[in-house]
Structure 1
Amino acid sequence: MKKTNGRWWVVALLFVATTINYMDRAILGIAGPSMMKDLSLSTVEFGILGSAFFWSYALMQIPVGMIVDKLGARLTYSIAIVWWSLCTVFTGFGRSLGALIGIRVLMGIGEAPAFPTNTRVISDWLPPHERGVANGIFNSGTAIGIGITTPVLAWIIESWGWQTAFVVIGSVGFIWLAFWLFFFKDRPSQSAIANEAEVAYIEDGQTDTKDVPVVNISPFKFLKYRNVYPMLYGLFAHNYLTYLMMTWLPTYLVVEREMTLLKAGFFTMLPWIMSFLGNILGGILSDRLIRRGWNSIKARKTILAIGMLFPLAIIPTIYVENAIAALILISIAIGGEGLAAGILWATVADVAPKGAEGKLAGLQNFVGNLAGWLAPVATGILVSQFNNFTIALIIPVVICGIASVAYTFFMKNQRISLDADIGKGNNLASGL
């Protein structure tokens, strides 16, 4: 029997969900110049508004990791996308800083389950040698959501106002929900889109994980293991760069590079197109190394370390006067870092014990999204203090460089095993 390709339809659903997720986040940055003018917001106040989403989003990562492992991906995602889509719609009706902050905090709660759920789905639906590409595909939705839709959002804002843009974009999630409920089941064996041959192929490919005992543990228990720390810091570094650019790049192009909003919306696509390509390429390269016999963690961390060096290309933007040249350098930085972004979540599935992917993904997303607390606000303060973006742009370069070193020298090439820790209680050597 020829196997079906239902698993790739599932990956496509995750890609669209991630696109919607980041489109709903990124619209604030695109609407920023109009909102600041309309609501008389300072750069610091707008930075606080940009950060508010991440206050709840980061804090919710620990419980949602446990929730997705308990309730399953189908139900968790359904609740999440309804919640965050409604919050996006309601943002269009906010007329004060306090109200908008409250809505963004609620939105952070709604979006919190997305990436831990994606990670669990990839672990359940794909064998290890396909997870890099699968993660690259769904994570590339971040680039589409942030950048490729920017001209359309800018056009809506210019034509009908920022309030209308939030209402229109917030409505898209309900369309996705109908497809999710119709096609997706928590396990391939339960789904009509995967035949017996595909189910057998998926399960046979998971021989490296399916015999690992499932243990109900606290996510914080993973802090005992050395491999976790480069992962936590690596996502923090990636997110700092991403959230800075997501919140401030359109404003940077309008204010510092003197572009119109429509022109900035068009040119903002370039860095995220590069990021989209980087996400896919990172997954392809790491999976190819695995097929050649590399240890899966070694393959992932090699690409992660290389990708985290590309933000160095941001430094010359400080010295170039031409706006297009600066944007090209930023595009190289974001696109190259996309090599790492595409497999940050594949690494969780390789490192976590089977059945605990959601917990480790939640812990990683909690620490990683502390960058969302810092990047928007710190950038607003630095821009206000120095009247330029110079220092604000140097910070993510340094942070990402440190992440490259951490992946190279501190991450070991082995999965976390809880057997010795829980069974014997006296040996963490396999993870330390």
Structure 2
Amino acid sequence: MAGRPRSGVRRSEPAPQRLQARQPRPRSGRPVPHSRGARLGDVDARRSAHGPGNDARLLGRGRRRRRAEGRRLRADTASRQRHAAPARGPLRRAERTRGPRPRLLLLLRPLQDRGHRSADPLPLPAGPHPRSALRRPRPRGGGAGPAGRAPPRAAGALKSEGRAAALALLCAINTLNFFDRQVLSAVAEPIRREWALGDAAIGALGTAFTLLYAVVGIPFGRLADRGRRKRLLAAGVFAWSLLTALQGLARSFAQLFALRLLVGVGEATCAPAATSLIGDLAPPEKRSRALAVFMLGLPLGLGLSYAVSGWVAQGWGWRAAFFVAGPPGVLCAALALALPEPARRAQAPRSGGIVASPYRRLLAIPTLWWIIASGALHNFNMYALGTFLSPYLIRAHGADLRQAGLVSMLAYGLSGIPGMLLGGLAGDALRRRGPAPRVRLGAGLFLCAAPLILAALMQPAGRVLAFTLLLGLACAAMAAYYSIVYAALQDVVPASLRGTAMAVYFLAMYVLGAAFGPVATGLMSDRLTARAARAAGVLGRDALALEPFRAAGLHAALLVVPALALVMAAILWAASRTIARDTQLLNE
């Protein structure tokens, strides 16, 4: 009989059910409705797992019971479809193309669970049935993340077009970062003359920016590691753009000094948040190129700032240059909110455990110490050059404000574009041999840059073209530092601490390097100017008496730049001796 077990068949343990193992058993004779994932052909926990011979409810003792079972299953599925409004178009099309599931499988499915676990001879369609995706509607805000938000997508889930657009926007934000930062250097000479300042005071305006920029970068780095990076970046862009425009309203040196401090707070959000995003958007073998594209904002911003600010200041005064620099940042702040927020790339923790303090863990990496030292010296050089390049051209070569801005744009700004791009490509090519050859490339480039800077500074007055070519080649070689060393930092730092590592690195770069570069060079220029005046027999200390000797004093002060470039080459060579071991420890 259909309802009795066959003779000679030994009962075994019930086979594991396929989809409905968690279905509760009925407590009474009333049938329990199927769970949400039920479909025709699935085994129900209410049914016997020993074949159709023991399942009277499935086969019944007549055709009427089988029809009732089919009607109940169809009604149950139709009820789920009414509550699955979001799954309409693609799901229905997939169901039509797949076709109906054979009804014979309803009877033959239990045979697969009985003694045929290793082999599955029945031609069942692969994968889940389309109806299994029909679920009851999710609650509002129903993401898996905290507070109902959807979890961030992994970098691989973003299309290449989306990654390219995000990288282009980050490059534009970085361009505005350096554009707004360099406006003061482009118009430093008219500000100095209007308020009768010395070179040390001009350098102090740069120091005001960099000191607060570096200190505030530490908490912003921790926020970049824990929070929504695009929101932090958008808020920072809006803040520094507004404050840059307000600098044009300053009526004294003290007001301009205070506004420069606040601009540093806004710009401190850019590097930790942006580099952390790029570290998750780009895989390690393409990270140098991605960072090179991002750091293109440095030469573009510097070059455009010199050209645009010098042209505007020549025609409408130095205050108008600040008014022009502010508005583009407001647009970029709005666009930054549309950036993707990729999932952070995870790395296995070290076998010895994780140090409680993230700063102690970072400072336990030997290569990071060499990278921090290189960043301090590099920023000393670049900020000293950037602050006093336009004044040097006006004093030593007799250029006007517009010509000085054009030469500074070519030699100091746009020359960095080929250096960064070629440095990123060469760095990625050398990275295939290991992490050390990429850092050695940076050491060699600084070894070549030192004599080029010295030759440019030794050009006589009026040789502007030779000065531009020599300094442009040197700045192109030094610009490769960013795409090479930033990628090396990502190689030795855990993914969860990249924002903090960049904040610590920037603290040393700006406090020990950029903060001292302009003010130290300005102090040396003032002292050497007074010495040149005394050598010429001028004993007066007022600004009018010292003005003819300021070109000689600034020229002598800038000779420190090629000397420090040689020290940079030695430091990067030392970093190449430790980076292989630190990278290996990180990946263990």
TM-score, length-scaled by structure 1: 0.86
Residue type at the aligned position of 1:152: V
The aligned counterpart of 1:171 is 327
Residue type at the aligned position of 2:445: G
SS in structure 2 of the partner of residue 41 of structure 1 = coil
C-alpha deviations, 1:317-362, integer Å up to 9, x for none? Answer: 3332123222222111111111212233222211101211011111
**Identity across matched positions, percent:** 26
The aligned counterpart of 2:523 is 381
Q: Does 1:408 align with 2:550?
A: no
**Max Rg structure:** 2
**Cα pair distance change 1:3/1:105, threshold 3 Å:** closer
The aligned counterpart of 1:93 is 249
In the alignment, the residues of structure 1 paired with residue 355 and residue 574 of structure 2 have an alpha-carbon distance, to the nearest angstrom, of 29
The aligned counterpart of 1:187 is 342
The aligned counterpart of 2:421 is 280
More helix by share: 1
Kept in 2, the 8 Å contact 1:301–1:407? The answer is: yes
In the alignment, the residues of structure 1 paired with residue 246 and residue 495 of structure 2 have an alpha-carbon distance, to the nearest angstrom, of 39
Could you tell me which of 501, 510, 515 is aligned with 1:369? 510
Q: Does 1:304 align with 2:304?
A: no
Could you tell me which of 53, 61, 78 is aligned with 2:234? 78
Could you tell me which of 546, 552, 555 is aligned with 1:390? 555
Could you tell me which of 209, 217, 220 is aligned with 1:64? 220
Deviates more, 1:321-330 or 1:47-56: 321-330
Please state how far the C-alpha of 1:396 moved relative to its aligned partner: 2.5
Deviates more, 1:325-334 or 1:260-269: 325-334
The aligned counterpart of 2:313 is 157
Q: After superposition, where does 1:341-356 map in structure 2 within 5 Å?
A: 341-356=482-497
The aligned counterpart of 2:458 is 319
Residue type at the aligned position of 1:401: L
Please state how far the C-alpha of 1:416 moved relative to its aligned partner: 5.7
Residue type at the aligned position of 1:133: R
In the alignment, the residues of structure 2 paired with residue 125 and residue 328 of structure 1 have an alpha-carbon distance, to the nearest angstrom, of 36
Please state how far the C-alpha of 1:409 moved relative to its aligned partner: 2.6
In the alignment, the residues of structure 2 paired with residue 51 and residue 38 of structure 1 have an alpha-carbon distance, to the nearest angstrom, of 20
Deviates more, 1:71-80 or 1:35-44: 35-44
In the alignment, the residues of structure 2 paired with residue 220 and residue 269 of structure 1 have an alpha-carbon distance, to the nearest angstrom, of 41
The aligned counterpart of 1:30 is 186
Unaligned residue ranges in structure 1 (runs of 5+): 189-202, 421-429
The aligned counterpart of 1:294 is 433
SS in structure 1 of the partner of residue 175 of structure 2 = helix
Please state how far the C-alpha of 1:220 moved relative to its aligned partner: 4.4
Residue type at the aligned position of 1:171: P
In the alignment, the residues of structure 1 paired with residue 274 and residue 356 of structure 2 have an alpha-carbon distance, to the nearest angstrom, of 20
**Cα pair distance change 1:69/1:59, threshold 3 Å:** same
Q: Does 1:240 align with 2:380?
A: yes
Please state how far the C-alpha of 1:212 moved relative to its aligned partner: 4.5
SS in structure 2 of the partner of residue 211 of structure 1 = coil
CA-based RMSD of the aligned residues comes to 2.3
Q: After superposition, where does 1:85-124 map in structure 2 within 5 Å?
A: 85-124=241-280
In the alignment, the residues of structure 2 paired with residue 419 and residue 121 of structure 1 have an alpha-carbon distance, to the nearest angstrom, of 20
The aligned counterpart of 1:197 is none
In the alignment, the residues of structure 2 paired with residue 127 and residue 341 of structure 1 have an alpha-carbon distance, to the nearest angstrom, of 18
The aligned counterpart of 2:80 is none
Residue type at the aligned position of 2:467: A
Kept in 2, the 8 Å contact 1:119–1:346? The answer is: no
**Cα pair distance change 1:155/1:354, threshold 3 Å:** same
Please state how far the C-alpha of 1:185 moved relative to its aligned partner: 2.1
**Cα pair distance change 1:9/1:367, threshold 3 Å:** same
Deviates more, 1:101-110 or 1:392-401: 392-401
In the alignment, the residues of structure 1 paired with residue 469 and residue 198 of structure 2 have an alpha-carbon distance, to the nearest angstrom, of 29
Residue type at the aligned position of 2:342: R
Q: Does 1:18 align with 2:159?
A: no
The aligned counterpart of 1:148 is 304
Please state how far the C-alpha of 1:137 moved relative to its aligned partner: 1.1
Deviates more, 1:302-311 or 1:111-120: 302-311
The aligned counterpart of 1:211 is 348
In the alignment, the residues of structure 1 paired with residue 170 and residue 196 of structure 2 have an alpha-carbon distance, to the nearest angstrom, of 38
Deviates more, 1:143-152 or 1:120-129: 143-152
Please state how far the C-alpha of 1:309 moved relative to its aligned partner: 2.0
Please state how far the C-alpha of 1:216 moved relative to its aligned partner: 6.3
Unaligned residue ranges in structure 2 (runs of 5+): 1-156, 530-551
The aligned counterpart of 2:564 is 399
Kept in 2, the 8 Å contact 1:56–1:105? The answer is: yes
The aligned counterpart of 2:408 is 268
Deviates more, 1:324-333 or 1:136-145: 324-333
Residue type at the aligned position of 1:406: I
Kept in 1, the 8 Å contact 2:166–2:340? The answer is: no
Kept in 1, the 8 Å contact 2:231–2:336? The answer is: no
Deviates more, 1:303-312 or 1:6-15: 303-312
Where relative contact order (Cα < 8 A, 6+ residues apart) is larger, the structure is 1
In the alignment, the residues of structure 2 paired with residue 289 and residue 314 of structure 1 have an alpha-carbon distance, to the nearest angstrom, of 27
Residue type at the aligned position of 1:235: G
The aligned counterpart of 2:97 is none
Please state how far the C-alpha of 1:3 moved relative to its aligned partner: 5.0
In the alignment, the residues of structure 2 paired with residue 331 and residue 126 of structure 1 have an alpha-carbon distance, to the nearest angstrom, of 30
Kept in 2, the 8 Å contact 1:310–1:334? The answer is: no
SS in structure 2 of the partner of residue 227 of structure 1 = helix
In the alignment, the residues of structure 2 paired with residue 414 and residue 119 of structure 1 have an alpha-carbon distance, to the nearest angstrom, of 23
In the alignment, the residues of structure 1 paired with residue 159 and residue 309 of structure 2 have an alpha-carbon distance, to the nearest angstrom, of 40
TM-score, length-scaled by structure 2: 0.64
SS in structure 2 of the partner of residue 133 of structure 1 = helix
Kept in 2, the 8 Å contact 1:215–1:356? The answer is: no
Residue type at the aligned position of 1:181: L
In the alignment, the residues of structure 2 paired with residue 244 and residue 419 of structure 1 have an alpha-carbon distance, to the nearest angstrom, of 36
Kept in 1, the 8 Å contact 2:438–2:484? The answer is: yes
Kept in 2, the 8 Å contact 1:215–1:355? The answer is: no
**Cα pair distance change 1:223/1:391, threshold 3 Å:** farther
In the alignment, the residues of structure 2 paired with residue 378 and residue 78 of structure 1 have an alpha-carbon distance, to the nearest angstrom, of 34
In the alignment, the residues of structure 1 paired with residue 330 and residue 484 of structure 2 have an alpha-carbon distance, to the nearest angstrom, of 28
Q: Does 1:222 align with 2:362?
A: yes
